[in-house]
Structure 1
């Protein structure tokens, strides 16, 4: 089980390298002068990932359904590897754009796939921990790409980053197909072997496997009967098509679908505009402005510290998710992130107006504020983005909901990455931080109004909550039962 998920974790780490790499590329090209990049060029290179990410989001479910989870997962490593090869061999803006488009395709393909892999391969009691490894892998990939970029050339850095998809490809090739997918295709004997390979043997495992197989057999029989009735009649086929469209539209009207969809989309926007990917790509620019430094080399160690903190926070976040409720972590992290971004902005404005002039304040306070921002953001909003998006959708709509919500991730990514350089040059990093604080405030308010507590609750319980159904109070029921049992003696 851990072996299979490690392939996904390495894939996500490669995704982190792809997000961290632009900062290395832009900084080294600017320092060397070998290739002059304008703000227009850098914004397109950084945001090109999102353009193909949208395409990948809609191709991924087709690949997963037709060819299986394992083959779809293996396919995601191909464009990632090709992207790194082009970075190694290329030396022009068009080639950089092609490489980033390939990385975007890989990102779009793996985003809907990642949560499904965890759900189908792992035991329920370990799913939360394995889901938390995605945040660790993402932070580790960004940290390593920046660390290597500080020691190696941008071409050599791309070559080292190519190791991740290669190793991931090898692990995925040795992994079995998803038992759930095999069962859905009626390949029950193959499914039994794959299930025992990833989950082992035991009474609970056998019960879960039998339940899945029996459920699928019932669905196959029902579908066969329906097809026998409508197979050779035009009216039957037309009626099936109309009913399918009606069923799809009916889903969007259900509270248990559209409320989780709004929550998931809001979480993804908070994730993006909170700085999950912007700092990885434009970290040098941000730190130069916040710390008031002239050269990229003047913020090298600070950049490394922030990257390391992101990875460490991802480890600690797993323990927070285990012991604290989702809403407490989410809104504590959200409020503190908004306050830290606003504080950084206010400090820069005051420094520009020479309210602060003492050198010890100018040297220590901005870095301390950046550390606080990194801690509060990466301990809560970053890992919860994966967790909540995986928990809020009821099982019946998880496939549709995951595709719909992740399709909003790439447009948000494009907008945030494309507008960031223009905001930094027009209103400064301090002004951009105020804009991001406002965006976070709006969407966190939406989440606050719609999100129920999901920790340690079943999907059915969460679904009933979105439907508006309330559980009857057990103590009240027992009291009523006791009153009915009272015998009145005259």
Structure 2
């Protein structure tokens, strides 16, 4: 809710300073910078956040992210100049940048797959509630008193965070398995499914620890000379580049980036900040005060849609919601634009149409956008990244959110002046269409699927029926009658095929994973492999 208040507060500030006067007179240049400067520090926060998450954990990082939000409200309370307003917004932007990668990861790691979508959908509820409350308080209180009330949200957040446990996934990643078990049972409870998920997570991390140990031993030998250091640096750079080449990384990144662009240019932040200006143009009113109740209606609809979206996320597939909502949003934005062009050309002149149709179209736009695209932004960004690259992928994708935020918020007033609201809506419709087409081609269905299943979809790996395929761990000892080995060698092992007879069944085993240790008779231990061990009965 604190974020929603920060997004809704500029509309309160601008309206009161322009209508009632105040300690400072704002120009269009001032308002565009105050609204958009949040994104500047947001970029910085995006890159600091994964460092904090990795080093200090999710809980401490979350606590740290609330501090600049609180300081920003304090500066609004005591400040009376444009530079002070900009400084306060920069602090809010830092808090936004720190929280954006963190929030979706926290929810994804704390919740069960069947509840994950609903919990991620609460982001839209809290955002909508915060915007609504800031506008309601701003209608009754001065902008300084509104800032005082809004400052309560960071304080409440600090108290709640202090009472919450650390993320079990982060504890597992640090090898703190006993603490992870306690935290996991605190947030998930105990049960067969929960224990199975926890055990898989711990086993996967134990394999990762073995991989790191082997690589560390290898690197320590190579680093004995300066040439070894150079080779190590080159190897590190190559490994980073290889991450970007992996389908399970670049495909989710593209999807998340497109989703965030749709979120911004669809109006998630422009409507709360410039909604009264937009409504004034769409409804053809003379003053901002003439659209006060219409603005409140839009705020209420946004909040109601956020609640309804939770039920939609539980009942319908992600792709169905995404593309239905996307199509209707593009259609409604285009319809508003066409109506305004026809009205300006005096083609539509009927009084009842001029009075009712524009508000109905704005309601249709709000319903279309807020029922699907707004909540799905957080859901999809929280689901698509694999655990190994979650911090990096989340940071990369959200680093596009803040530039999109700055561009959309900074250019909006100038677009409204140059080509009108109707022209700006056409630009936004075209942007949304391109991004939706990209996601249509690349996004798999994610509803009620584990994060591992989603990762496999991006990899192109099909889930195998347990009755047809038996998964075994890397140190599985094979009792076989006859064992044959063939391999392809490209500098390192890329694939190792085992064929053997076991009873009456002919069995093929194919390894292709980054590391595994499997001793076999009369040869060295294979250390460079690529996928988990599958035993296929043919």
The structure in which a higher percent of residues are strand is: 2
Distance 1:185 1:254 in 2: 24
Q: From the superposition, tell whether residues 226 and 345 of structure 1 become closer, same or farther in structure 2 (CA, over 3 Å).
A: closer
Distance 1:470 1:184 in 2: 26
SS of 2:37's partner is: helix
The structure in which a higher percent of residues are helix is: 1
Distance 1:382 1:219 in 2: 36
Aligned to 1:233: 224
Distance 2:253 2:184 in 1: 31
Aligned to 1:46: 35
Question: 1:25-44 counterparts in 2 under 5 A?
Answer: 25-34=13-22, 35-44=24-33
Aligned to 1:406: 398
1:262 counterpart = 2:254:
yes
Alpha-carbon displacement from aligned partner over 1:232-290 (angstroms, at most 9, x marks no partner): 62455544433222111012122332222212111111111110100010011001111
* Conservation of the 8 A alpha-carbon contact between 2:50 and 2:392: no
Distance 2:385 2:200 in 1: 21
- The CA deviation at 1:323 is 1.7
1:18 counterpart = 2:6:
yes
Distance 2:43 2:320 in 1: 32
* Conservation of the 8 A alpha-carbon contact between 1:229 and 1:236: no
Question: 1:17-416 counterparts in 2 under 5 A?
Answer: 17-34=5-22, 35-231=24-220, 233-234=224-225, 237-416=229-408
SS of 1:356's partner is: coil
Q: From the superposition, tell whether residues 443 and 222 of structure 1 become closer, same or farther in structure 2 (CA, over 3 Å).
A: closer
- The CA deviation at 1:67 is 1.0
SS of 1:259's partner is: helix
Distance 1:427 1:91 in 2: 33
Aligned to 2:505: none
Distance 1:434 1:209 in 2: 48
- The CA deviation at 1:176 is 1.8
- The CA deviation at 1:460 is 4.3
* Conservation of the 8 A alpha-carbon contact between 1:18 and 1:103: yes
* Conservation of the 8 A alpha-carbon contact between 1:330 and 1:384: yes
Q: From the superposition, tell whether residues 237 and 213 of structure 1 become closer, same or farther in structure 2 (CA, over 3 Å).
A: farther
SS of 1:452's partner is: coil
SS of 2:348's partner is: coil
* Conservation of the 8 A alpha-carbon contact between 2:113 and 2:449: no
SS of 2:62's partner is: helix
Q: Which has the higher contact order (CA 8 A, sep 6+)?
A: 1
Q: Tell which structure's C-alpha radius of gyration is larger.
A: 2
- The CA deviation at 1:458 is 4.1
Distance 1:253 1:56 in 2: 26
Gaps of 5+ in 1: 1-12, 475-490
- The CA deviation at 1:208 is 3.2
Distance 2:413 2:166 in 1: 43
- The CA deviation at 1:91 is 0.9
SS of 1:292's partner is: coil
* Conservation of the 8 A alpha-carbon contact between 2:113 and 2:448: no
* C-alpha RMSD of matched pairs (Å): 2.1
Higher mean C-alpha displacement, 209-218 vs 285-294: 209-218
Distance 1:226 1:422 in 2: 54
Q: From the superposition, tell whether residues 216 and 237 of structure 1 become closer, same or farther in structure 2 (CA, over 3 Å).
A: farther
Aligned length in residues: 463
